A and B are shown apart, each in its own frame.
Chain A
Amino acid sequence: MTVTATKAPARTPEGEAPKALRHRNPVRFFVLAGLLVLLLLLVGPLLVVAVNAVKSPAQYAGSGPLSLPTSLYWDGIVDFWNRVNFGQKLWNSFITSLVVAVLGVVLSILNAYALGIGRVKGRIWFLVFFLVANLLPQEVLVYPLYYISKEAGLYDNLIAIVIIFTVTQSAFGTYLLTSVYSEFPRELLDAASVDGAGKWLTLWRVVVPVSMPTLGVLFTFFFIWTWNEFFLPLIFLISNDNQTVPVALGVLQGDRMMDATTTSASALIGILPAMLFFLIFQRTLTRGIAAGAIK
């Protein structure tokens, strides 16, 4: 990662010294202790959830939330999984996020090709539009979208969610990608046009391959954002078979059947896929958050 690359030279003169000094310097100790306490505060709640998700209700009642489980108890998770048909929710979330990410990236590419490279007339106004579209709260779109999708027979259907998120997320994608494409090397475009490639071929053979890293970041963002969305799926996906993971878990909160261990079991299976994506996408994400800063 870039951190290592840029920091390495500055660090070498000190060499192994820090380790030897660590115990002697109280400031150092307090800084590290402070950071560790903060880390515990931030990660601790998730650990507590994980611990209690694999604890039997009997042990929970006996020794409370902080004891380590004496034996691993999977029934809470398994019961909850079967009761809400969690596999189906995972699939709904996965397929929605994947399709939105792919279509969102494609739509962003097309828009940014016209605005960033094509510099079509009125591009500033298009960019202002996409910026404002980015800012809009979903509340101001939700009722008409709800009404239209009912009229179109797409209410309680993943397709409605896919269409809406593809468009709203590509507003961000267009904005980011247009700034990247405005600085696209002209030589490459000229070379392609000398070779007789039209605009369509140039887009897919030259522009897209060259901008692959940025597109990877966009794909990751769109996937995770869609996975985490709650407001619109809550309103649009009302039947059990269509719910996504956050909606399924969110609406069960406060349900009578949800005791302490079942609740932590449900939270744990909500956390795990997110952690998995975090691990898979970590590099793209850290790079991408930085990319977001430059926009």
Chain B
Amino acid sequence: MAKNKGYAVYLIPGVLASLLVIIVPLIMTVYVSFTKWTGVGSPRWVGLDNYTRLFGDTLFWQSFSNIILLIIAMAVIPTLLGLVLAAVLFDYVAKHFSDRWAGFFRSGYYLPQVIPVAVTGIVWAWILHPSYGALNRILEAVGLGGLAKNWLGDPDYALYSVMAVMIWFQLGYPIVMFMSGLQRIDPSIYEAADLDGASWWQRFRKITVHMIRPEFYVVLITTTIAALKIFGQVFVLTRGGPSNSTLVPSYFAYKNFFEKAQVGYGSAISTVLTVLIIVLAFVFLRLQHRAEELS
């Protein structure tokens, strides 16, 4: 259409900026991943060396097995728990108490999400501190001093502690998303189910879960990707330690880039992480697409 001519010029700033900040750096990282480079001088081509080294590196596998547990803590648990909580707030609290109460709980649960990631790390590093931390003090105060631990400093517990912090951080997001999705549901559907004598749990499974499916996919994919990218909390809480028990891919890459000056190896880690995220995103999108076609 002639009418649509002359709009392309509006893309120029965006395209130039994307070239500079996204496309060129992306290509550079992929290129550098096939080289050996300390960041000074020129990179030396080594072919697939970084990748073969990567797949034989126990730290790499450790960082990815840690990430699987963090996906459970950041995506799976908050999504499932958030679904139930959103339904309770929307369909029970709002009806049997008031909308005000539902809104109050929603805001409260969302609060951890608005605090800078690094600051939530400080809050929890302090609470979980072995000597002056609040958690151990509380355990002692209620006579459970025997359970006190070096939560972040003990390789056996550090990852579980980080997981607990991440559930705390993440829970509000699905609740808010699901509650906004529930508003699309025609109240008469619930009323009809009530008249048919459906229990709360039946309505939850048959109506709520079904209606909220689009949000369910969005939440699951965004939280999974967030888990794959996690850096800030790990940096502040544990720096990947103790003895790499909380190492994650992004921190592993960071260490290679800026502490060990192994830029080629760091680039290979980042490239693998990126490919994984993009593949996962497209698999999710396909699943979502198919689910929409079925219903």
Contacts and interface: CB of A to CB of B under 8 A. Distances in A.
A64 B137 contact: yes
Contacts of A107: 13-14, 17
B72 interface: no
30 contacts: A3-B103, A18-B98, A35-B85, A39-B108, A39-B109, A42-B109, A46-B111, A65-B138, A118-B6, A120-B4, A126-B11, A140-B267, A143-B29, A143-B32, A143-B266, A144-B26, A144-B32, A148-B24, A164-B21, A171-B22, A203-B10, A224-B114, A231-B232, A245-B119, A249-B119, A250-B118, A253-B125, A267-B122, A270-B115, A293-B215
- Classify the interface of chain A: helix, strand, loop or mixed: helix
Interface in B142-188: 168, 171-173, 176-177, 179-181, 183, 187
Nearest to B18: A167
Interface stretch (A5-13, A70-78, A211-219): A5-13
Contacts of B116: 227-228, 230, 245-246, 270, 274
A222 interface: no
B114 A119 contact: no
B80 to A, nearest CB: 14
B99 to A, nearest CB: 5
A151 interface: no
A7 B97 CA distance: 12
A114 B8 CA distance: 6
Interface stretch (B49-57, B201-209, B249-257, B286-294): B249-257
A66 B177 CA distance: 34
Interface size class of A (residues with CB under 8 A): 35 or more
B127 interface: yes
B210 interface: no
Contact of B126 (A2, A267, A285): A267
A174 interface: yes
B141 interface: yes
Given A1-B103, A271-B119, A278-B114, 8 more contacts: A107-B17, A118-B7, A142-B254, A143-B39, A171-B22, A267-B119, A285-B114, A290-B180
